[in-house]
């Protein structure tokens, strides 16, 4: 099952030159590998290990979360809204599952 | 006990109390609650190849985290660097007492030096933001987070 990713811009339609906050939420349990289930067995680690953000094909940020990131993690960046473009987020977890989402940034 | 002996003894006691209070206030400024430098050092060496002494404490790094977190499984952390965007290479974040002290690494190339996320903190310990600049400097900001329920067990 692919990882579901949500992308939101705040403000949704920024003016040119304004700072825009890019909020990314990935729906993932982010199992750190230290927790135990009811019978005392250690749950194997399964967390997102890599998340990349590109803008019009150019890499703008890359996150490498360790096991110490919360479930359904939020990743928020700030950038200058100089032009409209397509933001693409891709991620990969330790089990090899991937997720992908594109969002269009439009200027007011 | 006569008056003279009493005065001498009480003067000593007062001096001792003053010294003790100075000591504890110095400790409060120098060390953060739940500090574990040995574990942190291990993580720093592994990730950055640097030790704690190679980091410079900087006012330019702003770390926003709660002082008391109800659940260690979900602690919001916000890091901002007061530097031009093209000077910041990466942001790292560590927590002293986690089994794996590295919480995350972000490599920035085109966004402003700002990052917000939610992290797991195993137990009461300082959270440390390390901003890596293009000229190879590591700037540090720390804040202690008191955790009532751990986030890793």
ipTM: 0.86
Q: What is the mean pLDDT of residues A2-18?
A: 91
Q: In residues, how long is chain B?
A: 153
In sequence order, which residues have a C-beta less than 8 Å from that of residue B49 and are 6 or more positions away? none
- Give the length of chain A: 108
How high is the pLDDT of residue A100?
92
Dihedral angle of Cα A12, A15, A19, A21, to the nearest 10 degrees: 10
A83 pLDDT tier (thresholds 50, 70, 90): confident
Instruction: Please give the pLDDT value at position B64.
Output: 94
A1/chain B closest Cα distance in angstroms: 24
Asked which of A40-49, A72-81, A87-96, B3-12 is least confident by mean pLDDT, the reply is B3-12
* Chain B touched by A14 (CB under 8 Å): no
pLDDT of amino acid B28: 45
8 Å CB contact of A70 and B104: no
pLDDT at B27: 44
What pLDDT was estimated at residue B23?
A: 47
Q: What residue spans of A19-87 are helical by DSSP H?
A: none
> Which stretch of A45-54, A78-87, B24-33, B106-115 has the lowest confidence by average pLDDT?
B24-33
In this predicted structure, what is the pLDDT of residue A1?
Answer: 63
Tell me which residues of chain B have a pLDDT lower than 70. 1, 6-30, 152-153
Q: Is the CB of B117 less than 8 angstroms away from the CB of A74?
A: yes
Which helix (H) or strand (E) element contains residue B61?
A: strand B61-64
For residue B95, the model assigns a pLDDT of 92
């Amino acid at each position: 099952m692919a990882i579901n990713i949500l992308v939101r811009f705040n403000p949704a339609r920024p003016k040119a030159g304004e700072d825009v906050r890019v909020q990314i939420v990935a729906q993932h349990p982010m199992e750190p590998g230290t927790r135990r289930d009811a019978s005392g067995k250690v749950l194997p680690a399964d967390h997102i290990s890599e998340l990349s953000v590109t803008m019009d094909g150019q890499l703008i940020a890359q996150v490498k979360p360790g096991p110490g990131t919360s479930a359904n993690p939020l990743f928020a960046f700030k950038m200058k809204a100089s032009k409209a473009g397509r933001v693409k987020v891709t991620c990969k977890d330790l089990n090899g599952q991937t997720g992908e989402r594109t969002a269009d940034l439009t200027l007011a | 006990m006569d008056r003279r002996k009493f005065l001498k003894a009480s003067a000593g006691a007062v001096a001792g109390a003053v010294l003790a209070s100075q000591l504890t206030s110095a400790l409060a400024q120098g060390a953060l609650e739940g500090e574990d430098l040995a574990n942190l050092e291990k993580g720093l060496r592994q990730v950055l190849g640097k030790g704690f002494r190679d980091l410079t404490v900087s006012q330019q790094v702003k770390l926003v985290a709660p002082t008391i977190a109800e659940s260690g499984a979900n602690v919001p952390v916000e890091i901002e660097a007061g530097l031009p965007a093209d000077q910041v290479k990466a942001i790292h974040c560590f927590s002293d007492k986690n089994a794996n002290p590295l919480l995350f690494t972000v490599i920035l190339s085109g966004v402003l030096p700002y990052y917000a996320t939610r992290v797991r903190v195993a137990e009461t310990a300082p959270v440390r933001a390390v901003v890596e600049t293009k000229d190879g400097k590591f700037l540090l900001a720390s804040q202690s987070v008191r955790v009532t329920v751990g986030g890793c067990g």
